[in-house]
Amino acid sequence: MSKLVTIYGGSGFVGRYIVRRMAKEGWRVRVAVRRPNDALFVKPYGVVGQVEPVFCNIRDDASVRAVMHGADAVINCVGILAESGRNRFQAVQAEGAARIARLAAEQGVQSLVHISAIGADADAASIYSRTKAAGEAGVLSAFPRAVILRPSVIFGPEDDFFNRFAKMARFSPVLPVVGGDTKFQPVFVDDVAQAAVAGATGRAAPGIYELGGPDVEPFRDLMKMMLRVIERRKLIVNVPFGVAHLLGGALDLVQKLTLGLISNGTLTRDQVRNLGRDNVVAPGSRGLADLGIQPTALEAVLPEYLWSYRPSGQYASIKASAKNLRKT
């Protein structure tokens, strides 16, 4: 019988790529999510019955244990960028991660992969980074042979990084950025998926891997690259950290006063704190090369999914060709 992997958060941005690759490896895939009906799109990633979405709440022992039963490998992709309702950083990224690892050890799971983030640090200014570090500590305490992946900002067709700013550039004459000089090392989502599969299948040695692509650029330059791809000219305005803290605090307050009815999906104070640190692979860290993975460059992928934000959309290249014909 094929081996079974339970992927927590398997319908998310990164999770769906891991699901697809694990299915191609011949594994049965159990996709543990809060809303299984919204995750039905993962079923065609494998043959009939190979990929199955199931309900799970990672804040509950019984729920996590039930979907892990019989699994040979476990992959945890669950993480949040901002708090909302009961989904708090501590509950999801620290306690949830530790719970999955503890139960995996109890059930004799062979391999565990945990998706963390570059910048995970118990002494970090942001709660996001501190709880990521707490999650790693909890995982290693319960499951010392786990593979922990720390990606930089992840890019790909469904990302919430380049897509967000490209969408903003369609309607706004200016493009505001917080931490324009902060450096990032964007990593392609499918490269992260390959790394996770290597860990789940035992092809990667236990330990921590920091994942970054070949491009290391300041935030401002990444936005310039994005604007070139979508063929738009916008003024990039660097928002001072002091102003950003005030703005993030005001938006956080609105969410709190409305009891979450108005969610702060724009900018939180914790995100501002996080943007104050470079998000690049640390010197000497194990990374994609140690897993036999060739990192994918931004220029090879961005045009493949940002074309829809161009003034002429899918017809941009056709119009450019027509202009060249008129000149000859």
CATH code of the domain containing 86: 3.40.50.720
- Judged against a pLDDT cut of 60, whether residue 220 lies above it is answered with yes
Q: What is the dihedral of CA 287, 290, 293, 297, to 10 degrees?
A: 40
Does 38 reside within a domain?
Answer: yes
Does 224 reside within a domain?
Answer: no
- Judged against a pLDDT cut of 70, whether residue 204 lies above it is answered with yes
Q: Are 151 and 191 in contact (CB under 8 A)?
A: no
- Judged against a pLDDT cut of 90, whether residue 140 lies above it is answered with yes
Q: pLDDT band for position 137 (50/70/90)?
A: very high
Does 302 reside within a domain?
Answer: no
Does 262 reside within a domain?
Answer: no
Mean pLDDT, range 207-216, rounded to an integer: 98
Does 113 reside within a domain?
Answer: yes
Average model confidence (pLDDT) across the chain: 94
What integer pLDDT is reported at residue 263 of this predicted model? 86
Nearest partner of 309 among 193, 206, 228, 212, judged by Cα = 228
Does 198 reside within a domain?
Answer: yes
Question: Based on the number of CB atoms within 10 Å of its own CB, is 286 exposed (0-12), middle (13-18) or buried (19 or more)?
Answer: middle
Does 315 reside within a domain?
Answer: no
Q: pLDDT band for position 321 (50/70/90)?
A: low
What integer pLDDT is reported at residue 192 of this predicted model? 98
What integer pLDDT is reported at residue 133 of this predicted model? 98
What integer pLDDT is reported at residue 85 of this predicted model? 86
Q: What is the DSSP string of 120-142?
A: --TT-SSHHHHHHHHHHHHHHHH
Question: Based on the number of CB atoms within 10 Å of its own CB, is 18 exposed (0-12), middle (13-18) or buried (19 or more)?
Answer: buried
More confident residue, 250 or 316: 250
**Max mean pLDDT range (33-42, 76-85, 317-326):** 33-42
Interacting residues of 324 by C-beta distance below 8 A, sequence separation 6+? none
Does 256 reside within a domain?
Answer: no
What is the number of residues in the chain? 328
- CA atoms of 325 and 23, how far apart (whole Å): 47
Q: What is the dihedral of CA 29, 298, 236, 81, to 10 degrees?
A: 20
Q: Which domain holds residue 35?
A: 4-156+186-214+278-294
Q: Are 100 and 120 in contact (CB under 8 A)?
A: no
Q: What total number of domains does the chain contain?
A: 1
Q: pLDDT band for position 323 (50/70/90)?
A: low
Amino acid at position 110, single letter: Q
- Among the residue ranges 28-42, 130-144, 216-230, 311-325, the one predicted with the least confidence is 311-325
Question: What is the reported pTM?
Answer: 0.94
What integer pLDDT is reported at residue 86 of this predicted model? 87
Residue with tokens 């022992």: 61
Q: pLDDT band for position 318 (50/70/90)?
A: low
Over residues 154-170, the pLDDT tens digits come to 999 999 999 999 999 99
**Helix (H), strand (E) at residue 21:** helix 13-24
Mean pLDDT, range 296-313, rounded to an integer: 94
Over residues 99-134, the pLDDT tens digits come to 999 999 999 999 999 999 999 999 999 999 999 999
- Judged against a pLDDT cut of 70, whether residue 326 lies above it is answered with no
Over residues 4-63, the pLDDT tens digits come to 999 999 999 999 999 999 999 999 999 999 999 999 999 999 999 999 999 999 999 999
Q: pLDDT band for position 312 (50/70/90)?
A: confident
Rounded to 5 degrees, what are φ and ψ at 177?
Answer: -130, 140
Q: Are 118 and 281 in contact (CB under 8 A)?
A: yes
- CA atoms of 137 and 322, how far apart (whole Å): 58
